[in-house]
Structures are given as C-alpha cells and as structure tokens.
C-alpha cells in the first residue's frame, strides 16, 4: 500500500495533473449548466443575475472568452518555460521539479485551460437560425463571464508568483523547508527509556541467501511494514543492503535473508528513474548544496547565495539537537525481523559541507561562514560523536582554506574561527 500511495502522490505532483482535473470539472459544469438552462423552473430572482442575451450575443461572448483564455494560457506557458530555463541555468536542472510541482503554476495554467474547455463546450450547445429551435445556455454564458474575470485575476497573480519563484532566496527557503521536513521524518525524538534491539552480528548473516535486482534504477521508497509482515509470515530475518537514494545496478545484491530468501521483497521496494525526497534525506541536502556550489562557480561568482545556503545548513543541523537517527532495526514480538540501511549524521554533514568546502576554498567569506556555522552547531549538539564529526569537517575546511587564501588577515581569521569550533567542542 505504501508503494501505491507513493505512486499516486507522484502522479498528483505532475505538472499536468491539476490542470487536467480542473478541465474535467469545467466540462462537467458546462454540461450541468446546459441542462439547467433547459429547466423551465428557473425563478425570477435567479433570472435577474443570469445572462439574458440572444443567440448571437452568447456566441460572441463564448467565442471571445475561449479564444482569449487559450491565447493568454499559451503566454503563461511560455513564461513558465522561460522561468524554468532561467532556474535550470542558475540554480541547477534538478530544481526544475520544484517549479513544475508548484501548485501556483499548475492552478494558473488550469484556470486558463479549463476556461477555454468550458467556453468551447458551451459554444457547441448554442443553436439558432437555420440550426433549429433557438437555445442559449444562459447559466454557461454567465459562468463564462465569471471565469473570464477569474482569468484576469489569475494572470495578475501569476506574474507576481513567477517573479518571486525564481528569486534565489525564496528558492533557498523552500528547499530549507523541504530539508527540515525530511530531517524530522527521518529522525526521531530522543527517548532514553526506550529499549532498542541491536542488529544481529555479522556471523548471523554468514549463510544468508542474497537477492539480486534485475532492473536498475534509484531506490525511491521502502515499504517497511510490508517487509516486516513478509518476514513474520515466512519466519525469516531480512536485511536490506541498500537505502533510498542508492542506485541499484542490474544483477547487484539488494537484500539478504536468513534462513531462506522469501518471495515478495522486490514489490516492497519502489524503484524509479530519479531520486525523491520522501525517504531520501540526503537528496534534499544535495538540492540545497547544488544551489550553493553553483553560486560559487566562476561564471556566477555569488558568495552571498552560498552564505545563505550555509546558514540554512546550520539551521537544519541545530534542529537535530533533541533528535536521533533510527537504528534501522524493526522487530516483532521481541525478534528482529528487518534491518535496513539508514542515513547517519556523518553522511549528512559530509553531504552538506564537502562540496561547499571544495568549491568555496578560494572564497574566504564562505569558508569563514562555514566555520561560524560549525561552531554554533557544535555548541548546540553536545553528543561527543556529533562534535567529533563537526570538528573533523572544520579541520578539513581550515586546511583547504589556508592553502587557497593568500591574504594574511584572512588566514588569521580562518585560524581564529577554527579555534572557536574546537573550543566549542571542549
């Protein structure tokens, strides 16, 4: 079920999904309006606000609304493509998904397309002259006029929305929200009274049977509940050798099980062509890191954006103060049934700062800011293992930055900020 919900959620995020739904609703309203217009029971109060013109007038209105809405809709689509091109060149092609999944863009395009479909469907119901008994879908013409006003409002909204959507700071904030959400989902609150079963020793897996994947792709989702139920039903213990975000190569090992290998493991794993943020917390980090590294490229040379990204990484790290990474061990009735590979704090920090360190070594302002963030995170995260990871990255950054920095004052500042990280770690 988790895999099916994931697929449905992915479909609902597609750029075409919401406009398609709005168009179908518009066609249903057009059919309903035509039926209501043939109902002789319309009251005088209702007739006072309903369109009361003739055949030619209704045809002119519906044709004008249809032609103008599809024309402006094409312009909206063109502007969207231009915004996507700018975003791909400036912030990275992997961020295009954020723009296509933006509900504001989808709703705006859906308003124009549904208005066109509604008006065109309504236009075909208008009859008069040589066509037979005159018929004017009065409800439809009235609603078409209302939709035309809605199109004007949607256009004004879209101009402001698309302008803000390509603002780098807004993109960074949106990615930070996604990152924070992914971290809260991937981690859990610290509970010192909770009993956690340790994973089996390596000797336990000595006689395990290995499952090889047939088709390559990125592991997007793991249905843990389904795997646990499968292990309980077959009396086995399953260990996944991969985690969401890993690329599964054909004929490579993906799981192993003791004492036998049950059927039904692969249906619990969702494999696709791209990484997703649902269970892959490091992917959310990579999207934000890509904005920062592109800002440090010689063609862009925008250290201010890189500093913004570093600040958001510090924000994400400090949210982990009272949270811990799960062990990946799933038990049922006191027996370990499933062991999954999980992300860890060291991998998270490496994904955040390794590329930023490598590309920003020649930018002292960025290196100094990273050291400042590491110092604050070291103060907040008091676990010894986490502080060791942070000081390790601070030392690597100090070494690279000193080698690439010529100015003596900048070198002294870098040394001083590195010492602040070590002091914060005790």
Q: Hey, what's the torsion of the CAs at 313, 314, 315, 319, to 10 degrees?
A: 100
- How do strand 335-339 and strand 237-240 relate by DSSP bridges? parallel
Residues of the chain with confidence (pLDDT) below 70: 1-3, 39-49, 88, 92-95, 129-132, 190-196
Q: Provide the pLDDT for residue 226.
A: 92
Q: Kindly list the distances between the CA atom of residue 150 and the CA atoms of 91, 138, 187, in Å, as whole numbers in the listed order.
A: 32, 19, 43
Q: Provide the pLDDT for residue 47.
A: 55
Give how far the C-alpha of residue 321 lies from the chain's centroid of Cα atoms, to the nearest Å: 24
Question: Across the chain, what does the average pLDDT equal?
Answer: 86
pTM of the model: 0.78
Tell me the per-residue pLDDT of 103-153, one tens digit each, with 9 for 90 and over: 888 899 899 999 999 999 999 888 876 666 788 888 889 999 999 999 999
Instruction: Name which of 75, 55, 76 is nearest 122 in CA terms.
Output: 55
């Amino acid at each position: 079920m988790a895999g099916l919900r994931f697929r449905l959620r992915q479909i609902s995020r597609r750029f075409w999904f919401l406009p398609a739904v709005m168009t179908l609703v518009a066609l249903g309203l057009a059919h309903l309006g035509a039926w209501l217009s043939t109902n002789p029971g319309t009251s005088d109060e209702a007739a006072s606000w309903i369109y009361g013109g003739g055949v030619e007038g209704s045809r002119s209105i519906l044709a004008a609304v249809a032609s103008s809405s599809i024309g402006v809709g094409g312009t909206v689509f063109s502007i969207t493509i231009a915004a996507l091109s700018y975003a791909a060149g400036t912030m990275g092609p992997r961020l295009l998904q954020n723009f296509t999944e933006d509900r504001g863009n989808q709703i705006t395009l859906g308003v124009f397309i549904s208005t066109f479909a509604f008006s065109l469907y309504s236009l075909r119901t208008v009859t008069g002259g040589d066509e037979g008994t005159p018929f004017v879908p009065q409800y439809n013409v009235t609603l078409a006029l209302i939709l035309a006003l809605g199109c004007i409002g949607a256009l004004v909204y879209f101009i402001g929305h698309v302008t803000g959507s390509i603002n780098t700071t807004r993109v960074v904030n949106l990615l930070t929200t996604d990152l924070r959400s992914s971290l809260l989902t991937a981690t859990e609150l610290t509970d010192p009274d909770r009993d956690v079963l340790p994973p089996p020793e390596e000797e336990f897996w000595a006689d395990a049977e290995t499952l090889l994947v047939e088709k390559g792709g990125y592991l997007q989702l793991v249905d843990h509940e389904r795997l646990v139920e499968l292990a309980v039903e077959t009396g086995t213990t399953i260990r996944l050798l991969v985690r969401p975000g890993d690329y599964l190569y054909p004929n490579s090992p993906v799981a192993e099980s003791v004492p036998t290998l049950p059927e039904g493991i692969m249906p619990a794993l969702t494999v696709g062509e791209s990484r997703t943020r649902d269970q892959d917390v490091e992917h959310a980090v990579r999207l934000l890191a890509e904005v920062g590294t592109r800002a440090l490229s010689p063609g862009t040379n925008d250290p201010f954006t890189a500093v913004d990204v570093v600040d958001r990484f510090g924000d994400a790290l400090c949210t982990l103060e009272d949270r811990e990474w799960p062990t990946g061990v799933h038990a049922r009735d006191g027996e370990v049934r499933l062991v999954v590979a999980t992300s860890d704090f060291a991998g998270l920090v490496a994904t955040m700062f390794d590329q930023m360190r490598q590309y920003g070594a020649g930018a002292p302002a960025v290196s100094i800011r990273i050291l400042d963030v590491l110092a604050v995170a070291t103060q907040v995260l008091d676990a010894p293992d986490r502080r060791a990871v942070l000081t390790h990255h601070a030392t690597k950054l100090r070494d690279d930055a000193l080698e690439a920095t010529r100015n003596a004052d900048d070198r002294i500042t870098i040394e001083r900020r590195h010492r602040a990280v070590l002091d914060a770690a005790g």
